[in-house]
Amino acid sequence: MRGTMAAPTSSGRDAAPLIQVRNLHKRFGRKAVLRGVDLSVAEGEVMALLGANGAGKTTLMRIVSGLAKPEQGEVILGGVSLRQAGHELRRYIGLVTHAPLLYEHLSGEENLTFFARMYDLLQPAERIEAVLRAVDLWPRRRDPVRTYSRGMVQRLAIGRAILHDPPVLLLDEPDTGLDQESAQMLHSLIRRLGATNRAILLSTHNLDRAVEWADSVSLLAGGKIVLQESTAALDGARLRQLYRRAHQVS
């Protein structure tokens, strides 16, 4: 499935970007939401996408995942343009939105079995076990999803999104509404997933988590990326300062 994409390397940050967004424009009626967004996320990189309510983070993720079309600009995944590749390239993408897209009356295992059929996975049982273990839900696999905590639902939603082992993972506010322990589990899951030849773009409103969870941060304001920083030399206080300043000038 990964065959036509840029071959994964072990060099992480130095590799060609798995996600490239060029000059993206999107409007809803008279409202221009994206006004020339440029972004790139390398293999092995976790990028946090920041922005105020309504800044366009979900819109950008929907376009990168192929669910929405821009008026202008291009999304290139693993060197292949989404526009040219069409449907098959969407299988390179795992997307978790605000809605977990799970069946509450089914168990975690049954949910993944259902989605594995949709993806025509080879050896689905092995893959499902590996994914359930990866998201720390193996002991609870037979329980109905309606008995899961918010954190468990969120981890299962990520499990669904990584079933087909996509190199590009998009997580729209995955940390919203999680208690401290669940947020910690999600953090370590994202770290593990990011360490395996993937590019992860996650949106969050929590600047401290952005610094802690991601390798880089990008701030969307006024329809553009107005700030892009590595988190290597950043802390929450400094990011808050940069965030305020960027909003003042955008």
Ligand X SMILES: Nc1ncnc2c1ncn2[C@@H]1O[C@H](COP(=O)(O)OP(=O)(O)OP(=O)(O)O)[C@@H](O)[C@H]1O
Torsion of CA 81, 82, 85, 91, to 10 degrees: 130
Site for ligand X in 23-52 (CB under 6 A): 28, 33, 51
In this complex, which beta carbon is closest to ligand X, that of residue 135 or of residue 201? 201
Rounded CA gap, 18 and 137, in Å? 29
CA dihedral 185, 190, 191, 196 (to 10 degrees): 140
Contact call for residue 56 and ligand X (CB under 6 A): yes
Rounded CA gap, 64 and 27, in Å? 15
Least distance (Å) between residue 204 CB and ligand X: 9
| Residue 209 touches ligand X, criterion: CB under 6 A | no
Q: Which is nearer to ligand X, 28 or 84 (CB)?
A: 28
Stretch that binds ligand X, among 56-64, 107-115, 124-132, 176-184 (CB under 6 A): 56-64
With CB under 6 A as the contact rule, which of the stretches 55-63, 87-95, 110-118, 223-231 interacts with ligand X?
55-63
Q: Is residue 96 part of the contact set for ligand X (CB under 6 A)? A: no
Using rule CB under 6 A, residue 154 touches ligand X: no
CA distances from 99 to 19, 25, 152, 171, 223 (A): 23, 25, 14, 11, 24
Q: Is 59 in the site for ligand X (CB under 6 A)?
A: yes
Min dist CB 171 to ligand X, Å, is: 12
Q: Which of 54, 79, 86, 177 binds ligand X (CB under 6 A)?
A: 54
Say whether residue 170 binds ligand X (CB under 6 A).
Answer: no
Mark out the alpha helices in the chain (DSSP H runs): 57-64, 82-85, 108-118, 124-134, 150-162, 180-194, 207-213, 236-249
Judged by the rule CB under 6 A, the positions of this chain that interact with ligand X are 28, 33, 51, 53-59
